[in-house]
Amino acid sequence: MVSILIFNVGSSSIKYSFFSNNKVIEKNKVEKIYTKEARRDVVQPLLKELRDKKISIVMHRVVHGADITEPKIINKSLIQKLKKISKLAPLHNIPEIEVIEICQQLTKVKQIAVFDTSFYSTIPIKARVYGLPYQFYKLGIKKYGFHGMSHKYVTKNLKGKIISCHLGNGCSITAIKNGKAIDTSMGFTPLDGLIMGTRSGSLDPAIIPFLITKGYSISKINDLLNHKSGLLGISGISNDIRDLMKSKNSRAKLALDIFVYTTTKYIGSYVAALNGVDTIVFTAGIGENSPYIREKILENFFYLRLKIDKNKNSKNERIISTKDSKIKVLVIKTNEELQMIEDAKKLINN
């Protein structure tokens, strides 16, 4: 296996990892990165290390790949395609493309893009099509799904009917049957679905034209829904669940209650879509580290003979359900970077 530098670029952060023989030799996260110049300042010194670390491939996680279903070698035509669809996930795709272009300018090392949306190519059409005239589906307005690398990684060794809960600042839930995604909470963009740290999640679509009549521009609405809503907007305090749990403010408690309630509703709907569930998985920052949130969600499924081992849950152990629980509940640390390498092995080996 060759050595690889992986970039996982967010709207205001850059996570990077150096891998050799499938093992991390260095990783870090740089936050509060808002401009292309700031991204260049982070990326440039890393690329200077490529020769010393014998890196022969630079890999990028791309959130929205539209209909691209497998990893791709990055070239001009792929970048042009990504730019065309960047409006579908502007918080992520735009900074990701900027880092790709910076790498192209500064190194001749081959680059590979791996797409979060590719995991959802198995979702049936009945779960993809929105209630719009069918012509809009043909234009690409449909459910794509996100956090694919994370959901795939934490469920890849599991069988049967699985509900995977990626709960962090961004949140999504995916229903998986025999290794294939059949539905997911995020849709046309990563804004859909659960209430998140600063994102609104699903809304009555009539809210948007109503806001326009109140003088809100499209850009202001985008900013409102992506950066000022969710846990932050409801609580008025923070988008960090740890801050909300420490607070005695009633709105902080309300934000937590709504978060638990909406998550519970999605899990319940996927129990129905799967016609039962064998395993529920929690991952990402909240999913891996918040016993309170997990317990509050899971207690709504005791009627399905799900039982929690409170001691194991409090310690964030891998299996937090009891031995006689009808449904197994797992807490698994996600590793999107390793999954990216796994998905791109054919390209890497070639």
* Sequence-ordered list of residues with C-beta below 8 angstroms from that of 288, at least 6 positions apart, any chain: 282, 316, 331, 332, 333, 334
Give the pLDDT score at 257.
Answer: 97
Q: How confident is the model at residue 1 (pLDDT cuts 50, 70, 90)?
A: low
pLDDT at 34: 82
Given a cut of 90, whether residue 24 has pLDDT beyond it is no
Q: Is the pTM of this model over 0.75?
A: yes
Which fold does the domain 133-147+158-331 belong to in CATH?
Answer: Nucleotidyltransferase; domain 5 (3.30.420)
The CATH number of domain 3-121 is 3.10.20.600: no
SS (HEC) of the chain: CCEEEEEEECCCEEEEEEEECCEEEEEEEEECCCCHHHHHHHHHHHHHCCCCCCEEEEEEEECCCCCCCCCEECCHHHHHHHHHHHHHCHHHHHHHHHHHHHHHHHCCCEEEEEEHHHHHHHCCHHHHCCCCCHHHHHCCCCCCCCCHHHHHHHHCCCCCEEEEEEECCCEEEEEEECCEEEEECCCCCCCCCCCCCCCCCCCCCCHHHHHHHCCCCHHHHHHHHHHCCHHHHHHCCCCCHHHHHHCCCHHHHHHHHHHHHHHHHHHHHHHHHHCCCCEEEEEHHHHHHCHHHHHHHHHHHHHHCCCECHHHHHCCCCECECCCCCCEEEECCCCHHHHHHHHCHHHHHC
Q: Strand 180-184 relative to strand 279-283: parallel, antiparallel, unpaired?
A: unpaired
Q: Can you tell me the mean pLDDT for 173-198?
A: 95
pLDDT, tens only, 208-231: 999 999 999 999 999 999 899 999
Q: Where in the chain is the domain with CATH 3.30.420.40?
A: 3-121, 133-147+158-331
Which residues are catalytically annotated? 116
Which residue, among 214, 247, 218, has the nearest Cα to 231 in the 3D structure? 247
Query: Ranked by mean pLDDT, which of 68-72, 305-309, 333-337 comes out on top?
Result: 305-309
Q: pLDDT at residue 281 above 80?
A: yes
Q: State residue 123's pLDDT score.
A: 95
| Residue 41 main-chain phi, psi, to 5 deg | -65, -30
The pLDDT of 27-52, averaged and rounded, is: 86
Assess whether pLDDT exceeds 80 at residue 287: yes
- 104-118, 160-174, 302-316, range with the lowest pLDDT: 104-118
- Give the pLDDT of residue 20: 84
Alpha-carbon distance of 347 to 350, in angstroms, equals 5
